[in-house]
Amino acid sequence: MTRTTGWLTLAITLLARQAPGQERVDEHWALDPNGAVRITCPFGKIRVRGWDAETLAVTGRLERGAGRLSATGDAHVRTIEATGPADLEVHVPRALTVWVTTTGADIDAVGVDGKLDLTSVGGAIHVVGTPQDVTAETMNGSVELAGGTGRARVKTVSGDILLRGASQDLGASTLSGRIVVRAAGWQRGGTGVQRGKFESVTGDVRFEGELGRGGVVEVESQSGTIEVRVPVNTVADFDVLTIGGAITNHLGDAQPKPRPGGTGQELRFSSGVAGSGARLTARSFKGSILLQTFPPRAASQR
């Protein structure tokens, strides 16, 4: 029994030595707080964290023998490249411009106030904070933005999109994913969404929350359901149209009318003095459209 145990212990030790394992990364460089960093990595996870130091710091792990980490550039622009799977945390000056490109890695960015340009083919993208500008694109992964942005553009093929917070200029499009917008809180110059356009071909679209004063929001879906939920005191002009679906309005007494030719329904009304508030347009070819207060009114209040 003792000899067998000894052989097993030796075999496990030899296998452990042959396993690829992980290589630790811990690198630091001085970086202009108004500069830029480019990060590329095929698979794994990339965490970007904004901080107050004028330093770029990269920590984490690489799969031993599966790739390497290189850094090129200067104190104004630096490029970080992992050629194999990696789990990296990258601390950057808050006002920095950050580009991240990956095939399958998840991207998580927190506390960056500058510009973010994030691309992943199959990974998820998650952003928290108040960046000035965000571009986030992924084919199969999901995207979530939380906080306040000056401008944001989000695009997926099949991944779901969740936008929480507020924005001056917000756009999202997807082929078959679901779009959910929860617009509330602070943004640069007001609350809610000042300008927004949300488009899906087959997925559902839900807009819930505040419209910026004088704002313009457009919601479109080819065959998905559209839901619009706004506070009861919202002042806005509504222009709603569906070709093959139905319109349900719980925002007031106005009811949809058949379109000329008898195909579909349309509804136009104002919750307040026409032209004095925001403007919301909803269009669907086959899907239904629901207009509702947020939070929803009780049945006895409708």
Using pLDDT thresholds of 50, 70 and 90, give the confidence band for residue 185.
low
Give the Cα separation of 11 and 109 in Å (integer): 43
Mean pLDDT on 247-268: 91
Range 192-195, long-range pairs (CB < 8 A, 24+ positions) = 192/166, 193/166, 193/167, 193/217, 194/167, 194/168, 194/169, 195/168, 195/169, 195/170
- Give me 240's structure tokens: 């709603």
Residue 296 has what pLDDT?
Answer: 54
Of 84, 115, 126, 118, nearest in space to 100 by CA: 118
Using pLDDT thresholds of 50, 70 and 90, give the confidence band for residue 37.
very high
Give the Cα separation of 139 and 121 in Å (integer): 5
Which residues are within 8 A (CB) of 76 and not within 5 positions of it... i.e. 6 or more apart? 31, 32, 35, 36
Say yes or no to pLDDT of 188 above 80: no
- Give me 18's structure tokens: 């042959």
Share above pLDDT 90 across residues of the chain, in percent, rounded to a whole number: 73
Which residues are within 8 A (CB) of 49 and not within 5 positions of it... i.e. 6 or more apart? 89, 90, 91, 92, 109, 110, 111
Say yes or no to pLDDT of 30 above 90: yes
Least confident of 95-99, 105-109, 120-124, 256-260: 256-260
Of 154, 110, 114, nearest in space to 129 by CA: 110
Q: What value does the mean pLDDT of the chain take? A: 88
Say yes or no to pLDDT of 300 above 50: no
Is the distance from CB of 60 to CB of 31 less than 8 angstroms?
no
Least confident of 88-97, 105-114, 137-146, 165-174: 165-174
Q: Which residue has the higher pLDDT, 210 or 301?
A: 210
Say yes or no to pLDDT of 265 above 90: yes
Residue 282 has what pLDDT?
Answer: 98
Q: Where are the alpha helices (DSSP H) in the chain?
A: 2-18
- At 114-169, the pLDDT tens digits run 999 999 999 999 999 999 999 999 999 999 999 888 899 999 999 999 999 888 89
Using pLDDT thresholds of 50, 70 and 90, give the confidence band for residue 14.
very low
Mean pLDDT on 173-191: 77
Mean pLDDT on 200-210: 94
Query: Which residue's structure tokens are 């212990």?
Result: 9
